[in-house]
Amino acid sequence: MQSMSRRLLLPSTLLLVIFLGAAGVILDTAFREAGNQALEDLLRVQILTLLGAVVEVSGPTLVMPDDLTEARFLSPGSGLYGEIVEPDGGRVWRSPSLLGSLDFGGWLDPGESYTRRLEGPNNQLLMALSMGIEWEFDNRESRQYRLTVAHDMESHLAQVAAFRKKLLTWFSGLIVFLLIAQALVLRQGLQPLRQVEKEIAAIESGELSELSSGYPRELTGVTANLNALIVSERGRLKRYRDTLDNLAHSLKTPLAAGTSLLEESETPDREKLARQLARMRDIVDFQLKRASVTGVSGLGQEPVDVRETLHDLREALDKVYLHKGLEIELEIAPRAKFFGAKDDLLEMMGNLMDNACKWGHSKIRVTANVLSGEKRPGLELSVEDDGPGIPADKREDVLGKGVRGDERMPGQGIGLAVVREITELYSGRLNVAESELGGARISLRFGDFS
């Protein structure tokens, strides 16, 4: 139930099925009862027909003529049966259509009647209507009789079954049609939310700088507040970086002045003080670099082109290490993008490539590969050298938590600690291994850990 469409569609579908199912049951019941009532009315008409056809004879008694208007009473097994009996059980008349005997029930007083179902001579279902009557003869003598007419229900049941089949077919088609229409209506109604989701993803990837306008009234407040939040986040991030830059300059200036004055003085502990000042400067550099890392891509911030950034770094390092004659090889996948701040990418890759140049003998290899991701592509960066490498028993220490600026691995120093901090802030992974070139291979992985 993570989707709003499902949360809306499933309950409405359930209600729709329940409603139409109840409507189907009501219609089926109404049709069946109407059919039963129609059949019962037909039986009453047949009873009246028989009463109109009966004649009196001396005795006195009643006799049914052989030429009845309803021929089905005369045809054996026709499905229409009749019977007239006296109170003592004596049979006055039974229709020739009835073969065998049927139990039409007990005696009824004049004016009483009841309807029942029973099994016919051919094992078919019958509906029988019995009525108690009192007949007054011409001589003023009256006698009571029970008149019963039964009709085959096969045709009625066939009509009910056909109606149910049509009802099921039409209601099934109606449910499917309504579900499709409902899904389309929901899709159209939720389109603005999908548009918001797409635009937020585009803002995260740097394709858009803010949400567009023209949303429905119910979403206007949300989109306006999101745009205000984006603008506020950008301003806050800029002020934060500017403040840290100013702080860095403010701290470095007195440290540099103190170092200069110490070099000119004749203090006996000058070397010890110089080392302490150098250590303070390193700690300040490390903590300021650590604090200035954003750790996330600012909303609406354009992703960094990895190829361009690494080319710039290579040109700078070629000049710095010109005396070593290093070959820095770049293998950059097309469309390699870093979703974060450019300064953070420069800090990470600059430190890794600088360390590789320091310890490499002749060749450095830098690779960038694009990884699959759910919302946006991931990135894997690696730097390899042909230097002495990092011993296996020291690699866990490099990846360990809580390394301070003064806790340095041999040959790695503050730079690698900063790289680790930045990588973790971006929810990435740093891995140290042995390179095919013979030295160390340090890789950074962002956005995909499959």
Per-residue pLDDT at 124 exceeds 80? yes
- Which of 107-121, 213-227, 249-263, 264-278 has maximum average pLDDT? 107-121
Please indicate whether residue 191 or residue 290 has the higher confidence score (pLDDT). Answer: 191
Q: How many Å apart are CA 81 and CA 94, to the nearest integer?
A: 8
85-118 residues labelled b (16+ CB within 10 A) or e (exposed): beeeeeebbbbebbeeebebeeebeeeebeeeee
Domain(s) of CATH 3.30.565.10: residues in the chain: 303-446
Contact call for residues 447 and 379 (beta carbons, < 8 A): yes
Burial of 81 (0-12, 13-18, 19+ CB in 10 A): buried
The bridge status of strand 327-332 relative to strand 363-371 is: parallel
Domain 6-159 in CATH 1.20.1300: no
Instruction: Supply the angle between the helices 392-399 and 413-425 in degrees, to the nearest 10.
Output: 50
Per-residue pLDDT at 206 exceeds 60? yes
Which alpha helices (H) appear in 207-341, and where do they start and end?
217-264, 270-292, 306-320
Contact call for residues 131 and 110 (beta carbons, < 8 A): no
Q: How many Å apart are CA 306 and CA 333, to the nearest integer?
A: 9
pTM of the predicted structure, to 2 decimals:
0.52
Provide the edge-to-edge strand list for the sheet that holds 125-136: 91-94, 80-85, 142-152, 125-136, 113-119
Q: How many Å apart are CA 393 and CA 387, to the nearest integer?
A: 17
Assigned CATH topology for domain 303-446: Heat Shock Protein 90 (3.30.565)
Confidence of residue 414 (pLDDT cuts 50, 70, 90): low
pLDDT in the model for residue 405? 35
pLDDT digit string (tens) for 335-391?
899 988 888 899 899 999 999 999 999 999 999 999 886 667 889 999 999 998 888
Q: Which amino acid is at 165?
A: K
Does residue 60 have a cis bond before it (omega within 30 degrees)? yes
Confidence of residue 421 (pLDDT cuts 50, 70, 90): confident
Closest CA to 435 of 351, 380, 366, 334: 366
Contact call for residues 350 and 403 (beta carbons, < 8 A): no
CA separation (Å) from 81 to 71, 93, 105? 11, 11, 15
Helix, strand, coil shares of the chain, percent, nearest 5, are 50, 20, 30
pLDDT digit string (tens) for 69-107?
888 998 888 889 999 998 887 888 999 988 877 888 888
Domain(s) of CATH 3.30.450: residues in the chain: 6-159
